[in-house]
């Protein structure tokens, strides 16, 4: 009976994992197939004809290079702002319990249900007044606003996982507060901060709504793709989709071991 349940669970878990993995795999293989496979239906499981034809075609389209450059600039700025603003806030949240902490966590959970991007509309009006409309800096500011709650949440989990006593014992052993932070907290937090930074980068890289609304010529990659979507051929779509996933994939595979620790910390 127990073993039956165990088996059912493994089946279930596999299904759930496939749920996420299959579409990614599909997109990735189609991006590296030749044109005929892209149009074939139903599709085979493995890329039948490995080819750089599709991806090559994609890079040849006018505006793609510029969109990628814009996306890189915006995502890097978002990364920078998120860590510089998010880490101190997360540290403060972790070290001092206060009445609003739980409210704050719930609010962040809720952002998933919130059409935050739609709030970019009033922003667009103001950006025109401030001269930030259609600039990477403007988009990066909005992306920072989107990524910041996550950065604060993740870094506060991170700092919560570093016992306060480690700092306190450093104080009793002759450190002032800055020395204790630099010598004890920072070395322990570094990998987590790196993960947070990449996470902010990925959020910005994939954000499409605000980027579309706030730019006209200086489009980021997803905004460019969205604009070109309806009148572009299937191979173009697959190659574009693949490029959008790449940073997230790199992110997950480079920090996968660390993520488990992070998740463990977040659950304390």
- Binding segment for a second copy among 46-54, 115-123, 130-138, 189-197 (CB under 8 A)? 115-123
Q: Which of 63, 62, 58 is nearest to 216 (CA)?
A: 63
Q: Which of 98, 93, 215 is nearest to 150 (CA)?
A: 93
Name residues contacting a second copy, limited to 66-105 (CB under 8 A).
89, 92-93, 96, 98, 100-105
Please report how close the Cβ of residue 105 comes to a second copy at its closest, in angstroms: 6
Query: x/- binding map, residues 154-193, to a second copy, per CB under 8 A?
Result: ----------------------------------------
Number of residues that bind other proteins (CB under 8 A): 18
Name residues contacting a second copy, limited to 224-243 (CB under 8 A).
225, 229, 234, 237-238, 240-241
Q: Which of 239, 219, 251, 191 is nearest to 56 (CA)?
A: 239
- Residue closer to other proteins by CB (options 159, 201) is 159
- Residue closer to a second copy by CB (options 113, 178) is 113
- Residue selected from 203, 210, 223, 239 as contacting a second copy according to rule CB under 8 A: 203
Q: 173 contacts which partner out of a second copy, other proteins, none, CB within 5 to 8 A by kind?
A: other proteins
Q: Which residues pair with 224 in a beta bridge?
A: none
| CA-to-CA dists, residue 47 to 32, 96, 164, 237, angstroms | 7, 53, 52, 17
Please list the alpha-helical segments (H only) found in the chain: 2-31, 35-39, 53-60, 64-95, 101-110, 120-130, 136-160, 164-172, 177-180, 186-206, 209-214, 221-229, 234-266
Name residues contacting other proteins, limited to 140-179 (CB under 8 A).
163, 165-166, 168-176, 179
Please report how close the Cβ of residue 262 comes to other proteins at its closest, in angstroms: 16
Sign of CA dihedral 104, 105, 106, 109: positive
Name residues contacting other proteins, limited to 40-59 (CB under 8 A).
none
Question: Three-class SS of residue 266?
Answer: helix
- Residue closer to other proteins by CB (options 170, 239) is 170
């Amino acid at each position: 009976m127990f073993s039956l349940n165990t088996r059912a669970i493994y089946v279930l878990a596999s299904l759930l994992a496939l749920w996420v993995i299959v579409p990614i795999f599909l997109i990735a293989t189609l991006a590296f197939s030749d044109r005929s496979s892209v149009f074939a239906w139903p599709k085979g499981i493995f890329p039948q004809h490995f080819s750089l034809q599709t991806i090559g075609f994609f890079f040849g389209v006018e505006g793609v290079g510029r969109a990628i450059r814009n996306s890189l600039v915006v995502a890097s700025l978002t990364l920078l702002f998120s860590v510089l603003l998010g880490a101190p806030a997360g540290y403060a949240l972790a070290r001092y319990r206060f009445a609003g902490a739980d409210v704050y966590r719930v609010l962040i959970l809720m952002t998933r249900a919130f059409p935050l991007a739609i709030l970019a509309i009033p922003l667009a009006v103001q950006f025109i007044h401030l001269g930030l409309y259609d600039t990477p800096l403007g988009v990066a500011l909005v992306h920072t606003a989107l990524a910041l709650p996550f950065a604060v949440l993740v870094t506060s989990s991170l700092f919560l996982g570093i016992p306060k006593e480690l700092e306190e014992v450093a104080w009793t052993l002759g450190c002032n507060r800055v020395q204790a932070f630099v010598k004890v907290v920072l070395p322990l937090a570094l990998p987590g901060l790196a993960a947070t930074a990449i996470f902010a980068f990925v959020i910005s890289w994939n954000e499409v709504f605000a980027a579309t609304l706030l730019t006209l010529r200086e489009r980021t990659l997803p905004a460019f793709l969205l604009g070109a979507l309806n009148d572009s051929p299937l191979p173009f779509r697959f190659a574009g989709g693949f490029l959008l996933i790449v940073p997230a994939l790199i992110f997950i595979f480079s920090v996968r071991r660390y993520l488990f620790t992070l998740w463990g910390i977040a659950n304390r």
